[in-house]
Structure 1
Amino acid sequence: MRTVNAYAATAATRPLGPTTIQRRDLGPHDVLIEIKFCGICHSDIHHARSEWGAATYPVVPGHEIAGVVAQVGSKVTRHAVGDRVGVGCLVDSCGDCANCRKGEEQLCLKGSTLTYGSIRQTQEMLNFCARHRIGADIEVIPASKINEAYERVLASDVRYRFVIDAATLK
């Protein structure tokens, strides 16, 4: 088991606070990512506040992760230690069912782990942005400012994505 630092909500009405979480040992098909940055948005707020159904607490919100491969399992062939990688909308879809074959991995018939959104539509948007040289406007924040960022999102006092600098969790 590996212990990592995080910020978590312990209840729907409580602010997020620093915590540690236990991560399972690396499996043969796993990639361990040293997270450098993690996005937060309305989806995270809705989930942390149980607005999309009952959440299981503690909740560590955040998605759209960017980092560097720190370790790979024995059967991993696509990535190597030191590769820059990102985790988008979901992980763990089967890739084989009818929905996955149609590019709708978020609707995987065998289950998936959502980090919000759809792979196909997200990729279309990323391709469009790359073709037209459109970049994202972000505000990088330390983890200690996550509650302030949430309040600014709720007040519509932001026109871009907040991104947590994971180095500030140490």
Structure 2
Amino acid sequence: MAKEARGDFYPVPIVDQNTRPGAVTRLIIFIVVLTGAAIVFGLFRERLGDPFLLGMLGVLAMIGVGFLFATAIGFVQVTPRSTGDELSKSFVDSMSQGLLVTDTKGRVVYANRAYADMTGASSAADLKTVEGLLSDVPEASVTIYRLASGLRDGQPGDGEFRLAQSIRPGAEPGARWY
């Protein structure tokens, strides 16, 4: 999930599937695996024999050289290349408009806090896509269908509709424009 908030200016998104383990975490995992392999080789040295250990050392050397070449040509990335992603992520996290990103199968990949507040979702399990929220509402179904069809075809689109009540459960009564 998302990292801790840096204050009210950068609210934490309710869903963020893009987070990866940091470089320190990967380094610790690498150290633990190497230490475990060294202990196993040390304990079973007599049973495995010197030819096996020499062959294993050769295989590990080839893997290491391959890793160095892959890192040199940029195939393997040890650290993030730029901070532009952090800037755009901070911008999207702090937007006052709700933002929901889904993959091609309709699964939620990212949702900012404003979207959760607008729809009344308190956790990632409560989130619904725009189609899931509004496809059965007669006032919005035509606009939502037109936008969804256009997006599936790769066309940009926009639209607005008026609902007699808010899509957020428990909100003040009254008509809203979306």
> TM-score scaled by structure 2?
0.20
Structure having the larger proportion of residues in strand? 1
Structure having the larger proportion of residues in helix? 2
> TM-score scaled by structure 1?
0.20
